[in-house]
Amino acid sequence: MPSSNTQPKENPSYSYQKGDDLYLQVHINPGAKKSAIVGPYGDRLKIKIAAPPLDNKANLELVKFLAKHFDVPTKQVEILQGKSGRDKLVRIEGKKRKL
């Protein structure tokens, strides 16, 4: 069982920095009771999303959730790839790496 004081990896494989922007490779599970970061999932970050995967609702909730988590406006969070699937590439504009 992992220790409760385990520190996150300094350079996890699911995130990288390009200039001032942070890029996250995520795997989402829509339809959860509450949106939350679950943790690493292979080379992606697994995130539960409290919205159904219909009518773009899960994508909108993901953007809102990440904007709140990183304390940036929603306009600075963009899904670049995977809008219709569970695996996505997300850019967080003007955010230095910090999960």
How is the chain split into domains, by residue range? 25-92
Q: What is the pLDDT of residue 97?
A: 56
Task: Enter the tokens of residue 35.
Answer: 């949106």
Per-residue pLDDT at 86 exceeds 90? yes
Q: When comparing pLDDT for 47 and 99, which is higher?
A: 47
Per-residue DSSP letter, 8: P
Q: What is the pLDDT of residue 98?
A: 55
Segment 27-85, tens digit of pLDDT: 999 999 999 999 999 999 999 999 999 999 999 999 999 999 999 999 999 999 999 99
Q: How far from 59 is each of 12, 27, 34, 71, CA to CA, in Å? A: 23, 12, 15, 18
CATH fold for domain 25-92: Conserved Hypothetical Protein Mth637; Chain: A; (3.30.1200)
Q: Tell me the mean pLDDT in the region 7-34.
A: 86
